[in-house]
Structure 1
Amino acid sequence: MTLKLHKADYQRAYCHTDLEVVAIINHCRATPTLIWLHNVIVALACTGLRISELASRKWSDIRIDKRRLTISDKSEFTGPASDRRETKNSRSRHIPIHNGLLAVFDSLDQNGPYVFRGPRGGRLKPEAIRNILVSEVITPRSDQFPKTVSGQKSF
């Protein structure tokens, strides 16, 4: 049996401007319950990491003395599932630590293996980041930056 499939149409992801990212960061910094999200957004902006990659960062990935963040692919790791981290392209890479990110690292509690924690202090989950970012930051501030992308209003 042969079935011809058509490539799905998709929209390019909206890329926030520098001004919008600064507004998001400032909003999170000014809201005590969103300080954890401030740290996450600064880290995402300074590294270009995917949300899932950032959520799985451990303190052992960070070399403050060499100002380097390591993103290791451990998809073939045979140990516990919690230590099996993988990158989208299955390649490890090193990212220089920006001064803004260094300040975030200095402000974080280094108890526990993971660098970033969720809103209640537990393990950070990528879906929680997305949901809270949209509901608590982007949607309430959407009229501050009215833009249209393919006919849709975006923040």
Structure 2
Amino acid sequence: MEFEFIALDKYGEEAGNDISTTDSLQFDYITIENATNKFSEDYKLGRGGFGDVYKGVLVNGQEIAVKRQLKSSGQGADQFKNEVALVAKLQHRNLVRLLGFYWGGGETILVFEFVPNKSLDHFLFDEENRKLLDWSRRQKIIGGITRGMLYLHEDSRLRIIHRDLKAMSC
């Protein structure tokens, strides 16, 4: 599932996207490049609207997911700043956590916690793999998605408005 969103403050105005408030989340390029074996195709997990996604392993052994923006993605600096500032503030057990970012030298990169077991669309849209999800497991997945969405809409201190929410078939 992939979505784009904006955050509004309590007055209904677009929340600030001051990336300087998240400077402590900034990774250096060499760390990300080493973690992904120089963005090796062997480490590539897939591609989304933002760009390519890679699995990486930091020096301390922590697995990460790295979203590297495509030059043709159409996302500008303001959108990137907004995403970093917003996603850094969101914390919920049903949402993937942003660990950091890199921005510079013509590169925009987001670093997330790595969630194993492939993407949900791998199990929903593949003829063989969809058999692995019985109705009890599907119900738990739907409940988790619902709790995450409820957090975004009702419980987060930021009010989230979705612009593009869809299940993806890759």
Bigger helix fraction: 1
TM-score scaled by length of structure 1: 0.25
When Rg is computed on C-alpha atoms for both structures, the one with the higher figure is 1
Higher relative contact order (CA 8 A, sep 6+): 2
